[in-house]
Chains A and B, each alone.
Chain A
Amino acid sequence: MTTFTFILIRQMPGNPFSIKVEQLMREQNLTVEEATNRAGALFDFDPNRPLLEQYTEYMGKLLRGDLGKSIISSEPVMNMLLRFLPWTLFSVGLGLLISFGLGILIGMLMAYWRGSLFDNVMTAFASVMYGIPDYVIALLLIIVAGVQLRILPFAQMLGGSTPGIEPGFRLDYILDLLFHAFLPVFTYVITSLGGWMLTMKSSTMSTLGEDYITVARARGLSQRRLLTAYIGRNAMLPLVTRLAISVGFIVGGAVIIETLYQYPGLGRNLATAILVRDYTVMQGIFLVIAISVVFSNILADLLFGLLDPRVRLGKEDAS
């Protein structure tokens, strides 16, 4: 995985050096020589070093837990990751939690009252929302709600928190975080909710056709018990795998949204790193994405075992 990323990002056209040179030429009207000299003084990166040498150095450091330094800012990549990761985990994680929870609930009710007005309205809503990419929603939000209608105080909502506010476990700080996370979270929920609703609906429909649901009805069970332990729990099983995949993509899933909303997460950072060809930062972020995908799959397997006794191993409770 690391080898693959390492090679891949070096196949991108341009390198950090040449991009900086171009930027200097454009912005400060320097000649090629002047710009090259200036850029060479700015960072210690030699694009002409053999690839194999760069690679062995990178891998050697990686094994010792050293992700190297940013080519552009010289800040250790590990520090950058630790600084940006919590923002993304917080905003996208919250969004995922909300959309999954809501989607499961609405999808189940849609199937339960299939054919009703509620079902029809929600199916239409979900299908439309499912089809719109997140950046379109984000742009629409900015343009319609922020610029034209002025419902939302956009200028203040951008960024991760209000500048100058002191971080801490206090109500005003938490509220401020939520205030700033609102836009990315809302956009994420809107765009992913439809998918959860539709999947849960179809899963619930097939569960409703199972014999044990008819038997449970025949036993005179209460509506609530039927919906939770009999219909909901069984219908949710196939969605757990999908949830795990989504958890894995939390880290990499918000590049455009974070850029649009100026949210200081890993996604926006990745976009910046790609623009200036900051190899080490890109490598670091891709590594985090890969690790999170692997770990969320392990998590899914554990969760699956918790929900479905059939995949549990051994007999831990024979009481």
Chain B
Amino acid sequence: MTVTPAAPEVVLSVRNLCISYLTRRGRLRAVNKVSFDLHAGETLALIGESGCGKSTINLGLIRLLPPTGTIDSGEIVYRRRDGQTVDVRGLTTGQLRQFLWRECSMVFQGALNSLNPVIKISSMIYDTAAAHGMDKKEARDRALDLFQKVRLDPRRVFNAYPHELSGGMRQRTLLATALLLRPQVVLMDEPTTAVDILTQRSIIDVLKRLREELNFSVIFISHDLAVAAEIADTVATMYAGEIIEMGPVAEVFYRPRHAYTLGLLEAAPRLSVGREELHSIPGSPPDLVEPPPGCRFHLRCRFATDECRTTPPPLTTAPEDERHTVACYHTATILKTRQEELARD
């Protein structure tokens, strides 16, 4: 497991980010007051159910929300390699175009649809290079090198059309393309979801190696806890548009302090003997147009008390590790429950 070196600098700082979508029933607050710091070389995994706002955060960070989505408030500050800071929300369209991919690139879920079907991979590389003033020769060399690094046959892939590549090859092509301009931050939205387990394995290995070699930071969106545990340094659990628990991966997985994180962990399959039943979290995520009062999770929470139903719990720091923050009133009970479970296994 990789451990973040002591206090590396922050490359991406997000404060109180709120994003909403306009729906027929009113404003839907998909992301509510999300704050986090992403350090150089760090991999942050955002985990949570579908519809909890993970992907919306990602699109919001690069300002590519669909037309109905808007960033209502909050700060997104990016720190360039030369130390200059960039206020992403304040960029003009032209500046944003320069910022994207050069500083912050993205690997989307569903590699099948992420490549333009009518042009060759080479054209896609050249298009990207041309948009950022990289010359053709350099783009080609760099792409071939990256294809090699992600274990693809460089020449064959470079001259291929997307439909001539398999799912895993396309996903690796996207990963290589994301690194073309040496960005500091790569956003990955479930990059291993649409591929089979072996391909998933190889993509994770490739990603880990590349990360060491090229030293970029990753925001990794996943609902696969095993993958998140393997690749991430820091884990943030999201529920109903809010980050409800965040901390170093070992802390969060072995000492969870939020009932929802606990629920997710209990719902994950284990390899231990004799315990075959999986617990699912009852109920479904709340309506985000009119979110419930108090803690947003209280309707589905077995630890809920009156306090939870009226006042949203504040974000507190765990006594054992200051990097571990959580928004729950019953941290001690939940921690104890988890440790009993682990002891039983």
Seen from chain A, the residues whose Cβ lies within 8 Å of a Cβ on chain B are: 115, 210-212, 214-222, 225, 229-230, 233-234, 237, 307-310, 317-319
Contact = CB atoms under 8 A, between A and B. Distances in A.
Interface of B: 59, 62, 64, 67, 96-102, 105-106, 108, 110, 113-120, 123, 127-128, 130-132, 159, 161, 163, 174, 177
A95 to B, nearest CB: 28
B100 A218 contact: yes
Contacts of B116: 212, 216, 229-230, 234
Contacts of A237: 118
Contact of A307 (B101, B118, B161): B118
B110 A220 contact: no
A2 to B, nearest CB: 40
A221 B100 CA distance: 9
Contact of A308 (B102, B106, B117): B117
Nearest to B96: A220
B159 A211 contact: no
Contacts, number: 84
23 contacts: A210-B113, A211-B108, A211-B114, A214-B59, A215-B106, A215-B114, A216-B127, A217-B100, A218-B64, A219-B105, A220-B132, A221-B127, A221-B128, A222-B97, A222-B130, A229-B118, A233-B119, A308-B117, A309-B120, A310-B118, A310-B163, A318-B159, A319-B159
Given A211-B108, A218-B106, A219-B128, A310 B117 contact: yes
Contacts of A309: 117-118, 120, 161, 163
Contacts of A319: 159
A215 B108 contact: yes
Contacts of B114: 211-212, 215
Contacts of A310: 117-118, 161, 163
Contacts of A210: 113
Given A229-B119, A308-B118, A218 B131 contact: no
Chain A: interface secondary structure?
helix
A186 B159 CA distance: 45
A220 B100 contact: yes
Nearest to B110: A211
Contacts of B132: 220
B117 A214 contact: no
B110 A219 contact: no
A111 to B, nearest CB: 12
A229 B128 contact: no
9 A-B pairs with the lowest CB-CB distances in the bound complex, closest first: A211-B113, A220-B100, A220-B97, A309-B161, A212-B116, A219-B128, A215-B114, A219-B101, A220-B101
Nearest to A319: B159
A319 B123 CA distance: 14
Contacts of A233: 118-119
Most B-side CB within 10 Å, residue of A220, A233, A237, A308: A220
Given A215-B108, A218-B62, A220-B101, A229 B113 contact: no
A248 to B, nearest CB: 25
Most B-side CB within 10 Å, residue of A115, A234, A309: A309
A199 B67 CA distance: 22
A219 B64 contact: no
A216 B162 CA distance: 14
Contacts of B67: 115
Given A219-B131, A222-B131, A310-B161, 12 more contacts: A211-B114, A214-B108, A215-B174, A216-B116, A218-B105, A219-B127, A219-B177, A220-B132, A229-B116, A234-B116, A308-B117, A310-B118
Contacts of B118: 229, 233-234, 237, 307-310
A210 B108 CA distance: 12
Contacts of B120: 309
A195 B341 CA distance: 65
Nearest to A230: B116
A144 B115 CA distance: 52
A66 B67 CA distance: 63
Contact of B131 (A115, A212, A225): A225
B108 A220 contact: no
